[in-house]
């Protein structure tokens, strides 16, 4: 089903023309350059890029946790159900935050080692329930029926992520758990309060590959069950392929290409995507090469297309003018002067 | 292109200096300390009444309030307080340098050795350190001073004997974490000797915390030094040491307030400046603050 | 037939600690069998990949061979001579022959040392060169790893990840070692840089006649880089074969699960891995490894007898292909 057939009512998140600058001692870093993405209900959208591509900045901006200053949103809008996140009044922001869940990258540092897993979950549950009232939170935090009920809910959540013996797990400390277990706990925490949007920032990077597979399956399962939409950030194309419906490939703060995962990885259109795929050693044993050159320093960006110094298809136009994202095939968007729409 | 970008980025020291400059409090601390140091060095030439710093006595002018001739007034022996303060700066700063120099030289190597070797060596050194740590600095320094015969030099020795323990602790802690780093493993696998690893691989990586500590401690050491002299166990009259000046002026309080106030203010401002500078340095080294 | 360059027999590395459980005053000894009886053979010019996840013991194995840590048991031969337990000047001589490249280029270079000092360190310790001669050698090594000599006076923080890793490689090659142990040399690097480093390593191997022991968890790299593969699980070798054979016919259930879990990018690739095998459960801790088959708790193909009999032996089921599973069908 091509995207153009879906009516806009199902569009959950739309980011358009996001340009973010970071003011540092050395100068202004243009970390995001007219980036944009769409997220439809029920989809898993992957943001794929190497280090420094701007994918985390994008995610943090959507979550509202990007430090501003030194960051500054120069232009763009992020529409969540047609309300602009960047210009929302605080109260609306609050209600948005309740609908979003976040799974961080490193499970080890994301759980406070001093508290048992149960305390962490119960606390989060109660806080979500008492969202407007600090007093109510303080009152119900330690004792009372609210706490008992929250404990039961917590055990239920742990069960949902297939943790064996949830009751005893509540009493255990994060350091007693393996990486995979911790990530499941974080996933359980993300499911509190029935979120609509799940933002996952490379949650399996630190895990072993067999554990990663299990966690990816778990995420897929929960996204389906809980009818979530998910934004999944990763640098691993293989993971993106297995998990995501659509992918956005970012380089130097710009979205270079986007499209359905399978189609894009089988037949990439942008030279960077092609180069990236070619850089990865494959089980087919075919030749793999790196991409010549280096990721540009944000302080000294090339003129025109940010990828041009490293591109084997470079034309003169590429060094002068930045290309715009165009839909060259149904649902395949590319930011490249070379790749044009088929007439 | 990377080279051009590298040129644009201020490197290392220059970069840190720019950051440091932005903090008004640290700059204030640095400025004041620079002034004091300058004043201390130039004391014999800029003090209005240099002879008052040692033997000059003018009982006719005793305890005169601040005036044009004597900007900070005179003390009970008629000596110009400003001049004495300037010479006193020399003493205090010198005390800081000597004390910290000695305790650093004792404490840091011991701490590194204890941290690196572990086992019995660690236990022995750290338990000795614990013993020295169990007594408050001032009390211990006082005790040593009294034992050795109170004098300025002995007070410096006493404080140094007490101060090395915290350098030892700091170096010990840093060594424990640094010795786990890969580059230490690499060095060992290449066959480096232990002293090389301790002092050429590990030590250079703790210079920032040591520097911060030195700066903050300088202030505190001066405080302890002046306290000892105030209590009579350190410098003795007519030395223009700030601590004794406060003690001497105490008798004339509150009428001749200037005799105690100005030395006290000098101590306060100097210690504060070291603290501000130390805080600034800590931020200066903390790359994450950026 | 030529002597293997490296040979180990029943190499073991155990870590011991004591735990007291009150009220008993007698401590219980906890043994972590990080490497449990590994026998390996490497011929000159080989690239052997040691593959496994956390707790497999692959890094410990590499470090034991490089004598960064000392093995607890077993015997090791290098270049025909037995080197088990060598100390002193013999150990120092050995260090010239066996070198290691570390995983994280950020932490394996001392941030307070300049690049030329970092690369010159092995030269200073082992060779009697004048300062000028050392400088020349450092320039030579930088050239070998395709780095400009301008980097010599700089500090590590000015270099990119790929450049830092090249410095690590240059340092490892300074003494012309015969065997280089590569501990996940590209895991900390971006994808576009990984390929270049791998190509560099391949080229260096050809040019200098090196032998590599590659430690990694990434099977895609292994397929394209190594001649032989050894799969480890909880300190034991569970399968060993030539790269071709292992991928064509993975026999051990763990090997198959590992392959199945490898993220693939294209459908073409997917054809090279076994169908969906997802392991349940966690990787058990190497503390107190069970005396039965180590993989029993997570094996999808286990038989009832697997939980009762002792750890099976490594059997050669076809020429050059060894498996530690009595039910592995060829």
CA atoms within 13 A on the CB side of A196: 14
The interface pTM score, or ipTM, of the predicted complex is: 0.85
- Non-local (6+) Cβ contacts of B199 within 8 A are B109, B112
**What is the per-residue pLDDT across C26-40, written as a single tens digit (0 to 9) for each?**
888 888 888 988 999
**What is the per-residue pLDDT across C204-229, written as a single tens digit (0 to 9) for each?**
999 999 999 999 998 989 999 999 99
**What is the per-residue pLDDT across B36-70, written as a single tens digit (0 to 9) for each?**
999 888 888 888 887 777 777 777 777 778 888 78
Residue B142 has pLDDT above 60, yes or no: yes
* Structure token pair of residue B160: 């140094």
Can you tell me the distance from the alpha carbon of A304 to that of A308, in angstroms, rounded to the nearest whole number?
Answer: 7
Residues 91-130 of B with CB under 8 A from C: none
SS3 percent helix, strand, coil of chain A, rounded to 5, is 40, 25, 35
Delimit the domains of chain A by residue range: 3-113+173-334
Can you tell me the distance from the alpha carbon of A52 to that of A71, in angstroms, rounded to the nearest whole number?
Answer: 15
Q: What is the pLDDT of residue B15?
A: 66
The answer to whether B190 contacts C95, with C-beta atoms less than 8 Å apart, is yes
**What is the per-residue pLDDT across C65-97, written as a single tens digit (0 to 9) for each?**
999 889 999 999 998 888 888 888 888 889 899
Chain centroid, CA B187 distance in Å: 35
| Angle between helices C191-208 and A271-279 in degrees, nearest 10 | 50
Residue B132 has pLDDT above 50, yes or no: yes
* Structure token pair of residue C165: 């890793």
The residue of chain C nearest to residue A212, with distances taken between CA atoms, is C261
Mean pLDDT of all residues in B277-283: 84
- Name the residue among C66, C110, C155 with its Cβ closest to that of B183: C110
Q: What is the pLDDT of residue B9?
A: 55
Q: Which long-range contacts (CB under 8 A, 24 or more apart) does A174-178 make?
A: A174/A108, A174/A111, A174/A112, A174/A113, A174/A117, A175/A113, A177/A117, A178/A211, A178/C282, A178/C283
Sign of CA dihedral A285, A290, A291, A297: positive
Q: What is the pLDDT of residue A341?
A: 66
CATH number (3.90.1010.20, 3.40.50.720, 3.40.50.300, 3.30.360.10) of A3-113+173-334 reads 3.40.50.300
Instruction: Render the burial of C290-319: b for 16+ CB within 10 Å, e for the rest.
Output: eebbbbbbbbeebeeebeeeebbebeebee
* Whether C220 contacts chain A with CB within 8 A: yes
Q: Can you tell me whether residue C172 is helix, strand or coil?
A: helix
**What is the per-residue pLDDT across A1-42, written as a single tens digit (0 to 9) for each?**
444 444 445 888 899 999 999 888 778 889 999 999 999 988
The answer to whether C110 contacts B191, with C-beta atoms less than 8 Å apart, is no
Q: Tell me the DSSP string of C37-76.
A: EEEEEE-TT-EEEEE--TTSSHHHHHHHHTTSS--SEEEE
The residue of chain C nearest to residue B191, with distances taken between CA atoms, is C92
Among residues of chain A, what percentage have pLDDT more than 90? Answer: 33
pLDDT: which is higher, A196 or B49: A196
Residue A171 has pLDDT above 80, yes or no: yes
Q: Tell me the DSSP string of B229-288.
A: HHTTSS--TTS--HHHHHHHHHTTTTTTTHHHHHHHHHHHHHHHHHHHHHHHHHHHH-GG
* Subunits in contact with chain C (3 or more CB pairs closer than 8 Å): A, B
Chain centroid, CA A310 distance in Å: 26
The answer to whether B2 contacts A299, with C-beta atoms less than 8 Å apart, is no
| Angle between helices A134-142 and A145-160 in degrees, nearest 10 | 80
Cα–Cα distances (Å) from B184 to B31, C106, C156, C301, in that order, read 39, 13, 15, 44
The residue of chain B nearest to residue A70, with distances taken between CA atoms, is B290
The answer to whether B190 contacts C111, with C-beta atoms less than 8 Å apart, is no
Distance from CA of B98 to the nearest CA of C (A): 27
Q: What is the pLDDT of residue B10?
A: 53
pLDDT: which is higher, C250 or B145: C250
Residue A168 has pLDDT above 60, yes or no: yes
Cα–Cα distances (Å) from B236 to B151, B229, C195, in that order, read 7, 7, 74
Q: Which residues of B touch C66 (CB under 8 A)?
A: 189
- Torsion of Cα atoms, A230 then A236 then A240 then A241, to 10°: -170
- Non-local (6+) Cβ contacts of B273 within 8 A are B28, B29, B30, B32, B33, B36, B219
Distance from CA of C91 to the nearest CA of A (A): 35
**What is the per-residue pLDDT across A29-78, written as a single tens digit (0 to 9) for each?**
899 999 999 999 888 999 999 988 889 899 999 988 888 878 888 899 99
Cα–Cα distances (Å) from A48 to A228, A275, A286, in that order, read 20, 14, 23
Mean pLDDT of all residues in B24-32: 88
Residue C2 has pLDDT above 80, yes or no: no
Can you tell me the distance from the alpha carbon of B65 to that of B68, in angstroms, rounded to the nearest whole number?
Answer: 10
Q: What is the pLDDT of residue C1?
A: 54
Domains along chain C? 6-323 (3.40.50.300)
Q: What is the pLDDT of residue A343?
A: 55
- Non-local (6+) Cβ contacts of A153 within 8 A are A125, A192
Residue B289 has pLDDT above 50, yes or no: no
Q: Are B267 and B223 in contact (CB under 8 A)?
A: yes
Q: How many residues does chain A have?
A: 343
CA atoms within 13 A on the CB side of B237: 14
Q: Which helix (H) or strand (E) holds B217?
A: helix B207-230
- Name the residue among B6, B191, B204 with its Cβ closest to that of C112: B204
pTM of the entire predicted model: 0.86
pLDDT: which is higher, A261 or C290: A261
Residue C47 has pLDDT above 90, yes or no: yes
Q: Which residues of C touch B179 (CB under 8 A)?
A: none
Q: What is the pLDDT of residue A342?
A: 61
Bond preceding residue B238 cis, omega within 30 of 0: yes
Q: Which residues of B touch A294 (CB under 8 A)?
A: 2
Can you tell me the distance from the alpha carbon of A330 to that of A109, in angstroms, rounded to the nearest whole number?
Answer: 42
Domains along chain B? 22-44+79-289 (1.10.3720.10)
Mean pLDDT of all residues in C142-161: 91
Strands C28-42 and C179-183: unpaired
Q: What is the pLDDT of residue B13?
A: 62
Distance from CA of C111 to the nearest CA of B (A): 8
Q: Can you tell me whether residue A311 is helix, strand or coil?
A: coil
pLDDT band at B14 (very low <50, low <70, confident <90, very high): low
The answer to whether A297 contacts B19, with C-beta atoms less than 8 Å apart, is no
The answer to whether A25 contacts B4, with C-beta atoms less than 8 Å apart, is no
Q: How many residues does chain B have?
A: 290
Mean pLDDT is lowest, of A133-142, B31-40, B110-119, C204-213, for: A133-142
- Name the residue among C66, C92, C107 with its Cβ closest to that of B182: C107
Check residue B197 and report its DSSP letter.
Answer: I
The pair phi, psi for residue B98, each rounded to 5°, is -65, -50
Residue B12 has pLDDT above 70, yes or no: no
* Whether B1 contacts chain C with CB within 8 A: no
- Name the residue among A179, A181, A237 with its Cβ closest to that of C265: A237
Q: Can you tell me whether residue A226 is helix, strand or coil?
A: coil
Check residue B199 and report its DSSP letter.
Answer: I
Can you tell me the distance from the alpha carbon of A43 to that of A223, in angstroms, rounded to the nearest whole number?
Answer: 9
Can you tell me the distance from the alpha carbon of A55 to that of A58, in angstroms, rounded to the nearest whole number?
Answer: 5
pLDDT band at C145 (very low <50, low <70, confident <90, very high): very high
* Structure token pair of residue B241: 């040491």
Chain centroid, CA A190 distance in Å: 14
Nearest alpha-carbon partner for A163 in A201, A218, A209, A204: A218
* Structure token pair of residue A343: 């007439």
- Name the residue among A178, A212, A290 with its Cβ closest to that of C193: A290
The answer to whether A212 contacts C261, with C-beta atoms less than 8 Å apart, is yes
Q: Which residues of A touch C217 (CB under 8 A)?
A: 208-209
Mean pLDDT of all residues in C189-200: 90
- Name the residue among B4, B10, B19 with its Cβ closest to that of A300: B4
**What is the per-residue pLDDT across A81-133, written as a single tens digit (0 to 9) for each?**
888 888 888 778 888 888 899 998 888 888 999 999 999 998 888 888 776 66
Among residues of chain B, what percentage have pLDDT more than 70? Answer: 93
Chain centroid, CA A85 distance in Å: 16
* Ramachandran bin of C324, using left for φ above 0, alpha for ψ from -120 to 50, beta for the remaining angles: beta
């Amino acid at each position: 089903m091509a995207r153009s057939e879906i009516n806009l009512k199902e569009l959950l998140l739309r980011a358009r023309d996001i340009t973010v600058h970071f003011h540092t001692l050395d100068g202004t870093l243009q970390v995001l350059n007219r980036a944009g993405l769409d997220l439809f209900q029920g989809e898993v959208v992957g943001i794929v890029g190497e280090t420094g591509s701007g994918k985390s900045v994008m995610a943090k901006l959507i979550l509202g946790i990007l430090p501003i200053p030194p960051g500054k949103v120069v232009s763009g809008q992020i529409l969540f159900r047609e309300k602009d996140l960047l210009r929302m009044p605080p109260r609306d922001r609050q209600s948005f935050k309740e609908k979003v869940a976040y799974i961080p990258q490193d499970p080890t540092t994301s759980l406070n080692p001093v508290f048992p897993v149960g305390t962490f979950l119960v606390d989060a549950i109660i806080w979500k329930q008492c969202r407007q009232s600090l007093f109510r939170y303080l009152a119900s935090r330690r004792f009372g029926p609210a706490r008992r009920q929250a404990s039961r809910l917590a055990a239920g959540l742990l069960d949902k992520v297939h943790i064996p013996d949830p009751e005893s797990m509540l009493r255990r400390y994060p350091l007693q758990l393996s990486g995979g277990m911790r990530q499941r706990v974080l996933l359980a925490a993300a499911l509190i309060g029935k979120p609509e949007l799940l933002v996952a920032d490379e949650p399996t990077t630190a895990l072993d590959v067999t554990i990663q597979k299990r966690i990816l399956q778990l995420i897929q399962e929960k996204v389906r069950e809980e009818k979530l939409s998910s934004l999944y950030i990763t640098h691993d194309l293989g993971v993106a392929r297995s998990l995501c419906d659509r992918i956005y490939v970012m380089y130097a703060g710009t979205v270079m290409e986007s499209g359905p995962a399978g189609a894009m990885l089988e037949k990439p259109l942008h030279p960077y995507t092609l180069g990236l795929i070619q850089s990865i050693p494959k089980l087919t044993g075919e030749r793999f090469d790196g991409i010549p050159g280096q990721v540009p320093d944000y302080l000294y960006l090339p003129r025109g297309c940010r990828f041009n110094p490293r591109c084997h298809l470079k034309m003169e136009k590429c060094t002068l003018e930045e290309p715009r994202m165009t839909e060259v095939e149904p649902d395949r968007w590319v930011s490249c002067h070379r790749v044009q729409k088929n007439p | 292109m990377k080279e051009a970008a590298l040129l644009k980025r201020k490197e290392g020291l220059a970069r840190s200096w720019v950051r440091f400059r932005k903090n008004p409090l640290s700059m204030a601390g640095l400025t004041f300390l620079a002034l004091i140091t300058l004043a201390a060095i130039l004391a014999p030439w800029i003090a209005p009444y240099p002879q008052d710093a040692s033997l000059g006595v003018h009982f006719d002018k005793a305890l005169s309030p601040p005036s044009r001739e004597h900007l900070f007034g005179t003390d009970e022996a008629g000596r110009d307080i400003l001049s004495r303060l300037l010479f006193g700066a020399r003493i205090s700063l010198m005390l800081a340098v000597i004390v910290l120099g000695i305790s650093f030289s004792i404490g840091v190597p011991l701490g590194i050795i204890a941290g690196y070797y572990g086992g019995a060596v660690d236990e022995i050194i750290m338990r000795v350190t614990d013993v020295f740590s169990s007594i408050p600095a001032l009390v211990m320094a006082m005790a040593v001073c009294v034992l050795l015969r109170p004098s300025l030099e002995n007070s410096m020795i006493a404080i140094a004997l007490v101060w090395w323990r915290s350098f030892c602790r700091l170096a010990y802690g840093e060594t424990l974490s640094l010795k786990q780093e890969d580059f230490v493993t690499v060095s060992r696998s290449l066959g480096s000797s232990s002293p090389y690893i301790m002092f050429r691989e590990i030590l250079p990586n703790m210079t920032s915390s040591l520097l911060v500590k030195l700066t903050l401690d300088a202030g505190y050491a001066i405080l302890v030094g002046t306290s000892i002299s105030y209590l009579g166990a350190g410098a003795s009259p007519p030395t223009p040491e700030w601590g004794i000046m406060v003690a001497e002026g105490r008798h004339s309080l509150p009428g001749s307030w200037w005799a105690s106030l100005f030395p006290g203010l000098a101590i306060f401002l100097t210690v504060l400046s070291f603290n501000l500078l130390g805080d600034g340095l800590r931020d200066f080294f903390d790359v994450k603050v950026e | 037939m030529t002597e293997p360059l490296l040979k180990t027999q029943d190499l073991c590395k155990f870590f011991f600690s004591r735990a007291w459980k009150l009220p008993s005053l007698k401590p219980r000894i906890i043994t972590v069998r990080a490497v449990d009886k590994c026998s390996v053979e490497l011929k000159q010019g080989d690239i052997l990949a040691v593959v496994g996840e956390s707790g497999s013991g692959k890094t410990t194995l590499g470090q034991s061979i490089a004598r960064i840590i000392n093995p607890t048991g077993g015997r090791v031969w290098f270049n025909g001579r037995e080197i088990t337990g060598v100390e002193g000047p013999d150990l120092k001589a050995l260090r010239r022959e066996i070198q290691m490249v570390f995983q994280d280029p950020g932490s394996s270079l001392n941030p307070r040392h300049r690049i030329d000092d970092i690369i010159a360190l092995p030269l200073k310790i082992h060779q009697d060169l004048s300062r000028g001669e050392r400088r020349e050698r450092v320039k030579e090594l930088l050239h070998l790893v395709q780095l400009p000599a301008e980097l010599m006076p700089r500090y590590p923080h000015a270099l990119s990840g790929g450049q830092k890793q090249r410095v690590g490689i240059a340092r490892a090659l300074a003494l012309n070692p015969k065997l280089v142990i590569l501990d996940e040399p590209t895991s900390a690097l971006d994808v576009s840089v990984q390929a270049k480093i791998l190509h560099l390593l391949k080229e260096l191997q050809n040019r200098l006649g090196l032998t590599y022991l590659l430690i990694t968890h990434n099977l895609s790299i292994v397929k394209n880089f190594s001649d032989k593969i050894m799969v480890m699980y909880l300190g034991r070798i569970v399968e060993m074969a030539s790269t071709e054979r292992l991928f064509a016919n993975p026999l051990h259930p763990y090997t198959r699960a590992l392959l199945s879990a490898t993220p693939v990018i294209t459908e073409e690739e997917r054809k090279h891995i076994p169908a969906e095998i997802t392991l349940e459960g966690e990787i058990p801790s190497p503390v107190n490894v069970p005396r039965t088959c180590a993989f029993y708790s997570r094996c999808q193909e286990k038989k009832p007898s697997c939980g009762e009999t002792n750890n099976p032996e490594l059997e050669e089921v076809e020429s050059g292909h060894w498996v530690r599973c009595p039910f592995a069908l060829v």
